[in-house]
Copies of this chain bind each other. A is one copy, B any other.
Amino acid sequence: MTLIVEKFGGTSVGTIDRINAVADHLKGKHESGESLVVVVSAMSGETNRLVALAKELSDTPVTREMDVLLSTGEQVTIALLSIALEERGLGSRSFTGAQVRILTDNVYGKARIREIDDHNIQAEIEQGNIVIVAGFQGTDEHGNITTLGRGGSDTSAVALAATLKADECRIYTDVNGIYTTDPRIEPEARRLDRITFEEMLELASAGAKVLQSRSVEFAGKYKVPLRVLSSFEPDTGTLIFYDSGEHMEQPLVSGIAYQKDEAKLTIRGIPDQPGVAHRVLEPISSANINVDIIIQNLGADGATDMTFTVPREDFDSCKTILENTAKELGAAEVLGDSNIAKIAVVGVGMRSHSGVADTMFKALADEGINIQMISTSEIKISVVIDDRYLELAVRALHKAFGLAEV
């Protein structure tokens, strides 16, 4: 018996028509002999509607109650989808996170799954029923409702697939797979048939928004084959698989990711002493600003410079924090640039091949694009450039690595 976990996001269940389409799709899968556990998000727009209601009552609504509120979104969807399946003569049973039970810690709004009791689900599967589970939510050990935070439904699906030892976890979304780069920028971008977890993680961290890093990490850890497909067109999508490192030749570069709306800050002339990096970055992370690439250069006279990137929306507040730190440390100056972009090439093949960085830098140089910062990992090379050249850089790199060809 093939056991599949399928997950449908908010746009895939955003209207009654869409829910009917998903029910038809599931009927087909069920009739082809697959046992199905289906994870759904709130109908698109619903979470925003609920958040807006809460914000009318409080600027800082208490987190426990936000989870009680938001979890209703998925609960509506599980009931509607189950009604649609029963209307088609299929046995179906819905479960909230608490009913499953998906046990989490008690960090409201961004809870982490600790354990899933699959007893109830297994019993329904054995009865031949299609199981519908509310994504994004769980319960703590005291029975409080928790939510998993952004992208939480993907995490729910992957965690269920891992617990149930499912044959595959399919994430249905509004795109039909993972591309070599953003097709809106490079029309020749090609849909990948497969990609490794490591590459997917690096692409996600470099701005490819199809899947949240957290669910990919989770799937990789438990070696759950993950497939990204469109819920609007029948196709095989992209399989994200665990690469045991033995059985196949991997392409040098699998994809190119980018992140716009980044900013860069530099603090110059700080003392080159142990603990200085911490003193610079601690107040920034305390303000909940995510620092990404960090580069430190040795300067002259025992002083040093440090440069890092932050989301552009945090640029102003980060600059203020940094100027205070500069005064305390007696630093020379603070410089900032809020018009940068980050671009990265990713591929497991890099591990065993040199020359990727060189190809990348040459392609950018050929277009006259200056590289402001460089950061590398085992399977990723990221650079920071002037954001005016972003689209040009994406197309140049896509071509340089021959990504349009299979």
Contact = CB atoms under 8 A, between A and B. Distances in A.
A64 to B, nearest CB: 8
A379 B62 CA distance: 51
Interface in A75-96: 75-76, 78-80, 82-84, 86-87, 92-94, 96
Nearest to A58: B87
Q: How many copies of this chain are found per oligomer?
A: 2
Given A53-B80, A98-B98, A99-B143, A68 B75 contact: yes
A80 B84 contact: no
Contacts of A143: 99, 120
Interface string A46-82: 0000100110111001101110110110011011101
Nearest to A132: B65
Q: Is the interface of A mostly helix, strand, loop or mixed?
A: helix
B16 A53 contact: yes
B72 A68 contact: no
A19 interface: yes
B75 A19 contact: no
A307 interface: no
A26 to B, nearest CB: 13
A11 interface: no
Contacts of A250: none
Contacts of A54: 79-80, 83
B57 A87 contact: yes
Q: In this complex, which of A53, A58, A68, A92 has the most chain B Cβ atoms within 10 angstroms of its Cβ?
A: A68
Contact of A65 (B56, B62, B71, B82): B82
Contact of A61 (B64, B66, B69, B83): B83
Contacts of A78: 65, 68
A20 interface: yes
B56 A68 contact: no
Nearest to A91: B62
Q: In this complex, which of A53, A69, A83 has the most chain B Cβ atoms within 10 angstroms of its Cβ?
A: A83
B83 A58 contact: yes
Contact of A58 (B57, B69, B76, B86): B86
A62 B82 contact: yes
A68 B95 CA distance: 9
Nearest to A93: B64
A20 B57 contact: yes
Contacts of A62: 82-83, 86, 92
A75 B86 CA distance: 25
Interface of A: 16, 19-20, 50, 53-54, 56-58, 61-62, 64-66, 68-69, 71-72, 75-76, 78-80, 82-84, 86-87, 92-94, 96, 98-99, 120, 143-145
Given A68-B75, A69-B80, 11 more contacts: A16-B57, A61-B83, A62-B86, A62-B92, A68-B78, A68-B94, A68-B96, A72-B76, A72-B79, A98-B98, A99-B144
24 contacts: A16-B57, A54-B80, A57-B80, A61-B86, A62-B82, A62-B83, A64-B94, A65-B78, A65-B80, A65-B82, A65-B86, A66-B79, A66-B83, A68-B75, A68-B78, A68-B82, A69-B75, A69-B80, A71-B75, A72-B72, A72-B76, A96-B145, A99-B144, A99-B145
